[in-house]
Structures are given as structure tokens and as C-alpha cells.
Structure 1
Amino acid sequence: MKILALDTSTNAATAAILEDGIIIGEYSCNKGKTHSQRLMPMIQSLLDAVGSSARDMDAFAASIGPGSFTGLRIGVTTVKAMAFAAQKPVISVYTLDALAYNLAASKAIICPVIDARNDQVFTSVYKFSGDRLERLTDYLGIHINELADILVAMEGDVIFPGDAAFMHEAFFRERLGKRASAAPPHTVLARASSVALLAKQAFEEGLYENCYDMKPFYLRKSQAEREKGQ
């Protein structure tokens, strides 16, 4: 089974191909939100590197959010278009789940944080139970003070992946002390390989859909929509 997976939910654009449970290729670029320019060349370069075409895929997966509204639309639309052309199913993977999966088998509490501006983050809290990721809270869009209150009430070390991990590292260390740490640089950002591995699990459980049904998960309205509603 082959799955092509994308994550464009944050500044990092990343694509990966999984074949029979093995990541055979992964490309990433974390240099500004230029996904509309970089993504398709990245995908084509990756396919060329592994000697495959989009039609060779059995399914296509995308990180559906929460995250950047524009980035999510680009990634989801790209996956839907490729799946439609190849007449293959799609698999939706939540961005926060994939970020947590970067730290597979960690014994710590895992708390992905995606920057939502004004000291707010998109987040959820996880732990691993064996090789399975267990989510302990809802998907949240909250102020970092509220998140710290949630984590203070929990026991154990807390590790933060996500693009806001280093941004708020000092704050979480102040609130949680030595319990808090940002994820290592090679695991802190979005990785399409994690999206692909979670997509494989979902595919095997029959949790896939046709390309028309895949939608971004924004979690909350954009700032422009909120201001319009005032």
C-alpha cells in the first residue's frame, strides 16, 4: 500500500510517501508560507525521487487542521485534486494528532501548540498508550494561561511540539518548572511522515473517504470572519 501525505497547516510545507509501512521519501521546507509556489514542485520532486507517480498511490492524506487557514486550504485542495484525478480515497488527519505522533512512544505528556496569535494557541493534550496515541482533551483554541492551568493540574513531564513551542517556552517553564520542555528541533515542526503513519492506521480501520468529503478543520473562525460578525 502506498500513501502520499501532505502537511501545509503551518509555515512548514512537508510531503511524504509511505509504502508498505515504510517512509520511502519525505521532503520539508520551513521557510515562510509560500506553499502555493513550493508544494507542487515538492510533490513532483518527491515522486521522481522514489520512482512513482500520483496514480501509483492507493490513498492520499492531508493534515486538515487546525492551523493556517490559507495553508490548510492549499494542502486539502491539492490532495483532493490528486485523489480525484487518480480515483483514489483520501484520509483526513488532524494536525495536532500528527504533531504529537512526531514523539511516538514518549513517556511524557505531549502538548502540541500551534501559534494562533495574541498569546493564543491551537492545542490538545496526549499520551501514548503502548504504540497508540491517546488524546486527553478536546481540540482547543485557547490562551496560553488557560493551557498552563490545564497542564499544572496534570502529573508528569510535558513536552511541546509545534511552531509555538519555542515561542512560549519561557512562559511554560515559568508555569511548569522543569516539567516543561520544547520538543527537539527535528520533531518540533510538522512532518508529513507522521501524517502518513496515522493515515495508514486510519486506512486499515476503514476510516477513509472520497475526495468530495474532505474539509479543513479550522476549529474557529478567521479573524476577518470574527470582525465581520461583530
Structure 2
Amino acid sequence: MPLILCLETSSTNCSVALATNRGSFENDLGVVNCLDLNEDQSDSYSHGERLHVFIDGILKRNELSTTDLDAIAVSKGPGSYTGLRIGVASAKGLCFALDIPLIAIDTLESLALQAPQPSNYVIPMLDARRMEVYTSVFQNNKKIKETTAAILEPTTFQQILNENNVTVIGSGALKFKELNKDHKNTYVDALPTALTMCDLAMAAYKKSDIVEDIAYFEPFYLKEFKSN
């Protein structure tokens, strides 16, 4: 019975979860493979101080140790440059020390799983400063538009918004809502969470050919880092 540690550090919050096919963590998102979740919804980018404390805490709470882990799953991005580097560095270090596989999870795919049902179209949006977001489009949980850094305008995604039942979710959702006040779609302000990584991580673990090369894997930054 595989046990996977899931790490989510792509945004302001710090979130870790344990994924297993005997998951018992109660939630409203339909996640079935989560054993436990440890996270905070802080907006202070405290991953450097909290990530390993959260990992240690969730393992101790379940009377487990790192040697019980079968794989590490990490949210690969896009998202915060610093947050992604901290999460990926921690995941790679654990995988190397424990000699276990590294699984990379698409941050926007995981975020889209938080959308309330029924929504046949989900547009996840992560705030990327000013009027820019990292975004993609999912139809019935399948990605139909590749991840991009988009400048939000009133015409962004207009055809999809006009013709479908759409949920826009993420830290950029309310910013987009201000441009689309006439649309009766659902806008949900949310941050990525390790909870929704659990089912994706378990599915990926069963496909052992998609694990990452620990030596060469890098986060999906999407854009080059700028200090200002």
C-alpha cells in the first residue's frame, strides 16, 4: 500500500499531505486518497520556516517516519519562484536520501480540482502580479488549453465564458471577476492545496514511467525570475 508525501509550496500557503489508497481524511472536494493534511492559509510566504516542521508534524501525528514513504510528490508550478524552489529542493533532497521516486504534479491541474461541481469548464488562475495570471482551461478534468502567463482583459476567455458553465478558481479569480461583472459564472478565491494533489499523486505512482529524474528536474517557472 503506497504512502506518498505531497508538498504544495507554489503560492503563499504551505501545505503538506499524506496520500494513500486507504485515505480517511474527510473533505468536501471528493478526494479519496488522502490520509491526512497539514497546512496553513498564510499570505506571508513562510515555506522556509514551516515546510519541514509541517512534514515532521504530519508524520508524527500518524506514527510514521520518512522511511515509511514510497514516493514524494511536489507541486511543480507555475507559481511563486521562491516557493517552488523551496518545495522542489526539499522533495529532491528527501527522494535522494530515501532512494524513492519523485512525482511532479501540475499546480493548475491540482487547483482546478477544488472547483465546485457541476462545472464542465474550470479555469484555474494564479495571481502573477498586476493584471497577469498563470492560467489554463480544463473541460471535465481534462486540460484543453496549455498553461500560459496571460494578461487579463475583458475579452479574455470570452467565448468559453459566454457559451458554458464555467468556474474560475484561484488567487487571480476575483481580479478577473472585476472585468466580467456581467457574466454569471462562478468565481472562487482559492489557493493550491496538497489535499487535491493526493489523487493525482496516487494515479501517477501507478504509472512508474512518469516519475522525474531527481538530478535534472526543475520547477515549471513559466517565466524568468524578476526581482522587481
- Structure 2: stretches of 5+ with no match in the other structure: 24-33
CA distance in 1, matches of 2:116, 2:179: 25
Which of the numbers 216, 223, 226 marks the counterpart of 1:223?
226
Asked if 1 retains the 8 angstrom alpha-carbon contact of 2:125 and 2:172, the reply is yes
SS in 2 for 1:92: strand
SS in 1 for 2:178: helix
Equivalent position of 1:213 in the other structure:
216
**Aligned partner letter, 1:216:** P
Equivalent position of 2:40 in the other structure:
29
CA distance in 2, matches of 1:77, 1:104: 32
Equivalent position of 2:193 in the other structure:
191
**Given the two structures, how large is their TM-score scaled by the length of structure 1?**
0.86
- Structure 1: stretches of 5+ with no match in the other structure: none
**Given the two structures, how large is their TM-score scaled by the length of structure 2?**
0.87
SS in 2 for 1:182: strand
Q: Which moved more, 1:71-80 or 1:202-211?
A: 202-211
CA distance in 1, matches of 2:201, 2:117: 18
Check if 1:49 corresponds to 2:55.
no
Asked if 2 retains the 8 angstrom alpha-carbon contact of 1:88 and 1:210, the reply is no
CA distance in 1, matches of 2:22, 2:134: 29
Greater helix content = 1
Residue pairs, 1:99-178, within 5 angstroms: 99-103=111-115, 106-128=118-140, 133-145=141-153, 149-154=155-160, 155-174=163-182, 177-178=183-184
When the two chains are superposed, the root-mean-square deviation of aligned CA atoms in Å is 1.8
CA distance in 1, matches of 2:22, 2:196: 12
CA distance in 1, matches of 2:53, 2:68: 18
Number of residue pairs aligned between Structure 1 and Structure 2: 213
Shift in Å, 1:138:
1.0
Sequence identity (%): 28
Equivalent position of 2:31 in the other structure:
none
Equivalent position of 2:11 in the other structure:
10
